Amino acid sequence: MRAAPAFELDVAPGRRERAALAMIGGACAAVVAAWIWSHVDAAAGPAGRGATAWLALSAGAAVLGGWAGWRLAPRDPHTLAWRQGQWTLCRRAAVPCEGTVQVKLDLGGWMLLRFRPTADGAASWLAVSDRAAGPAWHPLRATLFAPGVSEPTRGPGQGVDP
C-alpha cells in the first residue's frame, strides 16, 4: 500500500462558517426561550399571556444567540499538516501539537473535522471547504479516507471514542 502524500492546509474559518454558527446559536437560544416561555405561559392560566410576548421573547433570544455565535466563532487561522504518517495542528502563537483527525460530517465539497491532540488538551473542530483548500483538497480526502491511516491506535481494553 502506498503512503498518503504529505501536505499542509491552512484552515481559517470564513464568513460562511461563522454565519452558520450564528444561525445555530440563534436557533438554539430561540428554542430554549420558547420552552421556558411555555412554562411561564402555562402558569398564567387558560388565557395565557398572548402570542405577542412569546414572539418578542423568542425573537430577542434568537438575536442574542446569533450575536453570541458570531462573536464566539474562532477567527484565528490554523495549519493542519500531514507528514510521515502523523497529523499536526499549528495554532497561532502556540506550539504545534500532534493528534488524530476524524471526519464528523462530509458534504462532498465541505467537511467538518475533529482534531484530537495526542497529549492532553481539548479537541478542535475544523471546517474545511474545497474552495478554501485548493490543491490540498484531494490529498486531504485521500488521507482521511485511506484505510487505517487516520484511526488512532488503541491499547487493549480501550473502547470507541464518544
Summarised one tens digit per residue, pLDDT across range 119-160 is 877 888 888 888 888 888 988 998 898 876 544 444 444 444
- Closest by CA to 149, choosing from 103, 107, 104, is 103
Taking the C-alpha atoms of residue 121 and residue 104, their distance in angstroms, rounded to an integer, is 19
* Dihedral, CA of residue 138, residue 141, residue 144 and residue 145, to nearest 10: -110
Whole-number percent of the chain with pLDDT over 70: 84
Q: Return the pLDDT at 110.
A: 87
Residue keyed to cell 481559517: 12
pTM summary value: 0.65
Quote the CA–CA distance of 113 and 109 in Å, as a whole number: 13
DSSP secondary structure letters along 83-98: ETTEEEEEETTS--EE
Residues of the chain with pLDDT under 70: 1-3, 42-49, 148-162
